């Protein structure tokens, strides 16, 4: 989530690299402070994992999997916001691109079993 980066920016602080317990892994995210000032927003890729469920979002595309072993599903949210038409077989290259990026993110942030 983007709460910590936003709080740090508004406080004029930086995430510490370590504390008394050792190294600190700063949370990923972008500050939402520009939105408070009506400045232009940005578009970015998002990746997440929650209790083994996995997902990636890039523009209108969303790649999701139910559980650690569930198959990936690909949806175009601009055309199918209710995620009823799985496009993974139609666009395997797009699915593989997002899957590869998801695994790179998962290794970077320490997702178990990634």
Domain regions of the chain by residue span: 3-36, 46-109
Question: For 16-68, what is each residue's pLDDT tens digit?
Answer: 888 888 888 777 777 777 777 776 666 778 999 999 999 999 999 999 999 99
- Do residues 61 and 98 lie in contact, with contact meaning Cβ atoms separated by under 8 Å? yes
Cut 0.95: pTM above it: no
How far CA 109 is from CA of 6, 30, 40, 47, 89, in Å, comes to 19, 15, 28, 10, 29
User: What is the arithmetic mean of pLDDT over 1-21?
Assistant: 83
Average pLDDT in the chain:
89
Residues above pLDDT 90, as percent of the chain: 54
Measured in whole angstroms, how far is the alpha carbon of residue 42 from the centre of its chain?
14
Q: Coil, strand or helix: which one is 1?
A: coil
Q: What is the CATH number of domain 46-109?
A: 3.30.1120.10
Alpha carbons 5 and 33: distance in angstroms, whole number: 9
């Amino acid at each position: 989530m983007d709460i910590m980066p936003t709080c740090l920016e508004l406080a004029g602080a930086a995430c510490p690299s370590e504390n008394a317990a050792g190294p600190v892994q700063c949370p990923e995210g972008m500050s939402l402070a520009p939105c408070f000032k009506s400045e232009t927003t940005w578009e970015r890729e998002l990746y997440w994992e929650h209790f083994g469920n996995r997902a990636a979002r890039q523009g209108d595309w969303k790649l999701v999997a139910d559980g650690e072993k569930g198959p990936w599903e690909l949806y175009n949210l601009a055309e199918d916001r209710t995620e009823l038409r799985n496009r993974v077989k139609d666009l395997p290259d797009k699915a593989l691109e997002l899957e590869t990026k998801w695994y790179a993110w998962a290794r970077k942030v320490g997702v178990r079993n990634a």
